[in-house]
Amino acid sequence: MSLKREDLLKIYRMMLLSRTTEERMVEYHKHTPLTELPHSGIGQEAVAIGTVYDLRKEDLILPSLRTRGAFLAKGISSRTMMSGAFAKVTGAARGKNTSHHMGDIRAGVIAGTGVVAGHLPVGLGIALAAKLQKKDYIAVVYFGDGASNRGDVHESMNMAAVMKLGIVFVCENNGYAISTPASFHSSVPDLAIRAQGYGMPGVIVDGNDVLAVYEAAQTAYDRAREGEGPTFIECKTYRWRGHSERDPRDLRSADEIEAWKTKCPIKRLKDYLLQDKLADEKTLNEIQCEVTAEVDDAIAFAESSPYPPAEEALLHVYAEGGIKDE
Ligand SMILES: Cc1ncc(C[n+]2csc(CCOP(=O)(O)OP(=O)(O)O)c2C)c(N)n1
Ligand SMILES: [Mg+2]
- 116-144 per-position pLDDT tens digit: 999 999 999 999 999 999 999 999 999 99
Q: How many whole angstroms from 142 Cα to the centroid of ligand 1?
A: 12
Mean pLDDT (the chain) is 94
Residue 44 CA, closest ligand 1 atom number: 21
Please state, in angstroms and rounded to a whole number, the distance separating the CA atoms of residues 2 and 127: 26
Reported pTM: 0.96
Q: Whose CA is nearest to atom 5 of ligand 1?
A: 116
66 within ligand 1 shell (Cβ under 6 A): yes
Query: What pLDDT shows up at residue 155?
Result: 98
For residue 34, the model assigns a pLDDT of 73
Tens digits of per-residue pLDDT, 163-172? 999 999 999 9
**Which CATH number applies to 5-306?**
3.40.50.970
Q: What is the pLDDT of residue 89?
A: 95
Which atom of ligand 1 is least distant from the CA of 177? 13
C-beta of 177 in contact with ligand 1 (< 6 A): yes
221's enclosing H/E stretch is: helix 210-225
What is the Cα–Cα distance from 323 to 33, expressed in whole angstroms? Answer: 37
Q: Where are the alpha helices (DSSP H) in 40-177?
A: 45-52, 68-73, 78-85, 120-132, 151-162
How many angstroms separate the Cα of 298 from the Cα of each of 17, 78, 165, 302? 11, 6, 38, 6
Ligand 1 center from residue 190 Cα (angstroms): 19
* Ligand 1 and 123: CB distance under 6 A: no
Atom of ligand 1 nearest to the CA of 174: 20
Asked if residue 37 has its Cβ within 6 Å of ligand 1, the reply is no
Kindly tell me if the per-residue pLDDT of 286 is higher than 90: yes
Least confident of 54-68, 92-106, 146-160, 275-289: 92-106
Question: What is the atom index within ligand 1 of the atom nearest the CA of 39?
Answer: 19
CA distances to 75, 196, 294, 301 from 297, in Å:
17, 47, 5, 6
Nearest CA to ligand 1 atom 11: 177
Pocket flag, ligand 1, residue 43 (CB < 6 Å): no
Res. 323: pLDDT tops 80: no
Q: Cα(239) to centroid of ligand 1, in Å?
A: 14
50 lines ligand 1 (CB under 6 A): no
User: Is residue 146 within 6 Å of ligand 1 at its C-beta?
Assistant: yes
Instruction: Give the C-alpha separation, 73 to 4, whole Å.
Output: 17
- For residue 41, pLDDT beyond 70: yes
Closest C-alpha residue for ligand 1 atom 3 = 116
Alpha helices by DSSP H, listed for 226-326, are 254-261, 265-275, 281-304
